[in-house]
Structure 1
Amino acid sequence: MKRTNVFYPLALLLFGVLLAASASAQDSKANRQSPPASATGKVGNATVTVNYSSPAVKGREVWGALVPYGEVWRAGANEATTVAFDQDVTVEGQALPAGTYSFYAIPGEEAWTVIFNKVANQWGTQYDAQQDALRVQVQPRQSASMNERLKYEVTDDGLVLMWENLEVPVSIQAEK
């Protein structure tokens, strides 16, 4: 009789551990509706790395609707998008020290403001303008093709945000 009393709590404990492990695995970032993604490349001698969550269009109008014009946008989903530079760079002609920054944008129909913020590890909606390291103006352009998911590319000339029918190039220069 005592033997049964010992096995019952152990069985419950084992069941609880298995249930918790299963729940934890389902909360994996890879299973999110906006899964994590990254882009890395060289601009001159600088390595540029963008880490972001990639939302999908899903038939929605993105620019001016889902992402309103004239308001700060986290330039991704979930946690703040980050851009890391392993050496000092110039962005649109303005100096930016090496480091990791959260990346925000204020979309507009004709021009965008892109923002490099000093607080990198934060939820995307916790933006504080007093922590901005740099703000620059860039010109969006029509994309050659539809991009269902938000994506970033690092090119020889900088980085490019691409989503729906729009591309937003950001010029970056570093020592060669």
Structure 2
Amino acid sequence: MKNTRKLTSLAMLLIAVLFSATAWAQDAKPKASPAASAEGKIGNANVTVNYSSPAVKGRTVWGELVPYGKVWRSGANEATTVTFDKDVMIEGKPLAAGTYSFYTIPGEDKWTVIFNKTAKQWGTQYDEKQDALRVDVTPRKAKSMNERLKYDVTKDGLLLSWENMEVPVKVSAKK
């Protein structure tokens, strides 16, 4: 009787260990849209972009996965955020220092770039009434294919790159 109890306890322990190992292995699977960031300096302003980076995965991104003429969270998961530690000029218009959610309205020839005052939010909870600034920019063909969405902070501003498209946003330090 004692041997049966010991065997049963040992079997239960082994099963528990196997289930734990399986659960841990699932957590190790890479995320479909991993978190990423870009940092840099534009003039005297420190700039940080935090976003989730989806992949193309053989899909047509512009006009299909990301429809033209509709607000897009410009990333995946939580809203992409842009932080400026100093007041800046975006495409010649003033924007106060702070952290903003970053949305866009893609178009074939023109994009609207949106800095929204509600930074911490799920990407699909956009509220136009919270917009701090909207500017129009012109997209361009990328020099090479970008499998993953990527942001860069350059001396000239922000650059969103994904699939075969780049979207430059001019940023300058406020004087």
TM-score clears 0.5 = yes
2:86 corresponds to: 87
1:117 corresponds to: 116
Root-mean-square deviation (CA, aligned residues, Å) is: 2.6
Q: How many residue pairs were aligned?
A: 173
2:173 maps to 1:168 = no
Where does structure 1 differ by over 6 angstroms across 4 or more consecutive aligned residues?
A: none
Aligned-pair CA distance for 1:22: 3.1
1:145 corresponds to: 144
Aligned-pair CA distance for 1:149: 0.5
Give CA-to-partner distance per residue, 1:79-136, whole Å, 9 cap, x none. Answer: 1000000010010011100000000000001100000001111110010001100000
1:22 corresponds to: 24
- Work out which of the two has the higher radius of gyration on C-alpha atoms and give 1 or 2: 2
Matched to 2:158, the amino acid is L
Matched to 1:158, the amino acid is G
Question: Alpha carbons of 1:56 and 1:90: their partners in 2 closer, same or farther (altered >3 Å)?
Answer: same
2:104 corresponds to: 105
TM-score (norm: length of structure 2): 0.86
CA distance in 1, matches of 2:28, 2:167: 34
Give CA-to-partner distance per residue, 1:14-70, whole Å, 9 cap, x none. Answer: 86xx57x8389458xxx3101011000000000110000000111111100110000
Matched to 1:50, the amino acid is V
Q: Give percent identity, aligned residues only.
A: 67
CA distance in 2, matches of 1:23, 1:41: 36
* Corresponding residue SS for 1:154: strand
2:129 maps to 1:159 = no
TM-score (norm: length of structure 1): 0.86
2:53 maps to 1:54 = yes
* Corresponding residue SS for 1:130: helix
CA distance in 1, matches of 2:138, 2:86: 25
* Corresponding residue SS for 1:162: strand
5+ residue gaps in structure 2?
Answer: none
